[in-house]
Structure 1
């Protein structure tokens, strides 16, 4: 069973190896950060295997019995009056061995002023997108491997144009309890548009993610290491602002090498006191830092931080992510334990 799953991941990766990221796909909101906890740890952590049902939105293999009757609601006041959020819930059934997961992700782009081709003002309009998901995971018998899948229905409306589509996420996760070690791989957004915006069918933002995390022995710290966008190697690009003009007037462009591409796939995260009622989270997203870095100015792009606090049956989470000197985002989350 595990060999078949490994082969499936290889086939998916090879089928999309020529893809590029950024501006070439529809339903881009599917890959937005889905919780304050994930945002604080760098943006795409997939190796948490605990009570947090929002983790199931990104990695269905992480759906587990600890999520039973946990309701998570998250909200983000994003850039330029854009708002988005998620909600997720898990339920344990069938002799308390099977877990079902449901979630919703939405984004509201706000109001826009409309103009015709001559520049004359017309009616204002809005835009929004939503995805409904249902997930399920199970343990491969007699192993430490877990597999899971999400099925998503997607609706998008931008001005007078609308689209409807569907996608699935496939994931595998290895949980070795003696070492508190988690290793996972996720293939996200495998799907298509059922109805396009305007005759042309656009691809979905497929992504292959790999992650590993572990809690240190005798030290209340859990480290996270994530490799994002593994479906395509070349994600670095030459920044014209980093070109150098020599004394003869020649322009020397930025040299993108193997190391530049390798490091841009990496995300680092730390969770202090991960199992206590209060914990602190820190993250660093290398690609975000490099793409949004301002020359000769310290902007702390790529850094993120947050905390979580448990109050009886409620958990509150907050995180702050720095994108540039002029742009940042705050994430708010509320988890309610409905078992109590």
Structure 2
């Protein structure tokens, strides 16, 4: 059987941009300003902090079709002088496929999966409210008997003061190199630059989050053939992409209600997802996300619902355990 693996997009290892955290998923999927979630350092290593010490996060995402995604995170405070370290794993299983030869004869079943292991650390600059974080990721992708290995790095800067309601962060994700390729052509990692901020209202138990992502690439929008129109002469006119159509695709908003309470409610909206998965003349609610969290003394349970399309949605489940 001849297999020629290809990436259905611009980059390889795109699973690195999936979120396994139900908190993050419920807030739109791209939020990077969560300090109380041990899974957040997989996206933003500067959020590694001593309050996450000896906390374990286990996550499961029932993704589209038969695709399943699982991840786990753990943080450990070495000591007050050295600081806190973080470790995480990500695993995406694409399910079982039926192989066939050139004549269409079945040759048996095979599987495909992606896997990554990361180590992270955050450093607080002396007598300041700035934190510098970094992740190093070992990446493996397998399709049948073909495999690829890669190395990735995340770097981020966070401003946070516990006495102020505002925090901001800049994250550079998935810098790296595909060490071994499936065939002979090496591909780029899904490099991203994102800026995120959040604001906690003082008199109301509400916290707002926002992320401006893909700063390394301004033009995200392309014309959709299904949205083309026909003029009076019968000519097909391509959909026009305006400045605001493209600008909003960089934005994700989220809001937490009762963020410090035993029960939390979260809502989010992903503008790019909404624009790319909408259907003409049909309200699909694509881009909307929602979820909740229940906090107990030693653990918390979180759930997120993500709306993609009328034919497919996804659910994310997270369990955070305090092992002390």
Do structure 1's residue 158 and structure 2's residue 143 form an aligned pair? Answer: yes
What are the within-5 Å matches in structure 2 for residues 86-125 of structure 1? 86-95=71-80, 98-125=83-110
- The question of 1:290 aligning with 2:275 is answered yes
Query: Residue 220 of structure 1 aligns with which residue?
Result: 205
SS in 1 for 2:33: coil
Residue matched to 1:314? 299
Q: What is the CA RMSD across the aligned residues, in angstroms? A: 1.3
TM-aligned CA deviation for residue 250 of structure 1: 1.6
Q: SS at the partner of 1:289?
A: helix
Aligned CA distance change for structure 1 residues 22 and 173 (closer, same or farther; 3 Å): farther
Q: Give the gaps of 5 or more residues in structure 2.
A: 1-6
Asked if the contact 1:65–1:97 (Cα under 8 Å) also holds between the matched residues in 2, the reply is no
User: What is the rounded CA distance, in whole Å, between the counterparts of 2:66 and 2:204 in structure 1?
Assistant: 41
Deviation at 1:22, TM superposition (A): 7.2
Structure 1, residues 230-287: CA drift from partner, whole Å, max 9, x if none?
1100000101111110221022211112111111100010000001111000000000
Question: 2:221 aligned with 1:236, yes or no?
Answer: yes
Q: Helix, strand or coil for the counterpart of 1:61? A: helix
Is 1:199 equivalent to 2:203 in the alignment?
no
C-alpha contact 1:227 1:265 (8 A) present in aligned 2? yes
**Counterpart residue number, 2:54:** 69
Unaligned runs of 5+ in 1: 1-20
Question: For residue 27 of structure 1, what is the aligned residue in structure 2?
Answer: 13
1:43 corresponding residue in structure 2: 29
**Structure 2 CA distance for aligned equivalents of residues 147 and 180 of structure 1:** 20
> What is the CA–CA distance in structure 2 between the aligned matches of 1:272 and 1:235, rounded to whole Å?
31
CA distance in structure 2 between the partners assigned to 1:62 and 1:97 by the alignment: 16
Residues 23 and 113 of structure 1: CA distance in aligned 2, closer, same or farther (over 3 Å): same
Is the 8 Å Cα contact of residues 235 and 264 (structure 1) preserved in structure 2?
yes
Report deviation, 1:95. 3.2
Pick one of 38, 41, 58 that aligns with 1:56.
41
Paired residue secondary structure (2:106): coil
Please give the alpha-carbon distance, in whole angstroms, between the structure 2 residues aligned to 1:202 and 1:228. 21
The question of whether the paired residues in 1 share the 8 Å contact of 2:68 and 2:92 is answered with: yes
Shift of 1:48: 1.3
1:187 pairs with 2:172: yes
Q: Specify the SS of the correspondent of 1:26.
A: coil
More helix by share: 1
Distance in 2, Cα, partners of 1:328 & 1:231: 29
Determine if contact 1:282/1:305 at 8 Å carries over to the other structure: yes
| Equivalent residue, structure 1, for 2:4 | none
Match of 1:325 among 290, 310, 322: 310
Report the TM-score when normalising by structure 1: 0.91
Deviation, 1:312, is: 2.1
Taking structure 2 as the reference length, the TM-score comes to 0.96
The answer to whether the 8 A contact 2:20-2:61 is kept is: no
Report whether the alignment pairs 1:172 with 2:157. Answer: yes
Q: What is the CA distance between 1:46 and its match in structure 2?
A: 0.5
Question: Larger % of strand: which?
Answer: 2
Q: Are the counterparts in 1 of residues 210 and 252 from structure 2 also a CA contact under 8 Å?
A: yes
Indicate the residue corresponding to 2:3 in structure 1. Answer: none
Tell me the SS of whatever aligns to 1:37: helix
